[in-house]
Amino acid sequence: MRSREAILLLLALALLGARPGYDAGAPVLSAGVCPGEIVACSAPTARAWRDAAAYAIPLRMTPPHKSSDELPQQSIDTLEVRALAAEDGLAIRLAWHDESVDLAPAQTGQIGSFPDSVAVQLPVVGESEVLPALAMGSAERPVNIWRWSAGVEEAEESVAEGFGKLRAVAEPTPVGASGQRDGAGWVVTLWRPYA
């Protein structure tokens, strides 16, 4: 089992490392302390989040596949990330401004609509000097992905071994999720026991 520090360091590097815009190197995501069990800090508005350091991650659009494709207008520029560590688990809080509310097709009745979503990827293999690829890992360094979607209070858990090689976890460890609107955007927490 990996230590909390290793998980947080790898999370920080996966989220921030190798991202353009950080000239002096990526900042390290320091976790705040969650008193008691991690579920006590699982709500997006839990008091412990106020004392956890916030990091703003600039987002970049994925370039189009063909040069003739038009680049869509980017509506979300920054993602705020915070982390909390407890004796039994890790929680991550993600917040972003988004004027629109997009829900799943099952809720809207509109086929082909995409819900507001956010995901976190963590290395599957413990301590290593080489990080997994940011684009969904690789066969040598797979990543565990926790994904939340608007209108769903449970995260999807999967493993990726590279772009296009995503599979559901056969016996997932439940990843808790909670999302709510906060003014003109979303605040989402994802949490899970270390074990």
Q: Give residue-wise pLDDT tens across range 9-57.
A: 344 434 433 343 444 555 677 899 998 899 999 899 999 999 999 999 8
Structure tokens belonging to residue 100? 């629109």
- pLDDT attached to residue 160: 92
Mapped onto helix, strand or coil, the DSSP state of residue 145 is strand
Q: Cα 60–159–106 angle (5° rounding)? A: 75
- Do residues 121 and 131 lie in contact, with contact meaning Cβ atoms separated by under 8 Å? no
**Alpha helices (H) along the chain:** 4-16, 105-108
Instruction: Report the distance separating Cα 6 and Cα 91, nearest Å.
Output: 14
pTM: 0.77
- pLDDT attached to residue 63: 64
- pLDDT attached to residue 22: 44
Closest-CA residue to 190 (of 123, 94, 85)? 94
Residue keyed to tokens 């301590």? 127
- Helices first, then strands: H and E counts in the chain: 2, 10
Q: Give residue-wise pLDDT tens across range 80-101.
A: 999 999 999 999 999 999 877 7
Instruction: Report the distance separating Cα 74 and Cα 97, nearest Å.
Output: 12
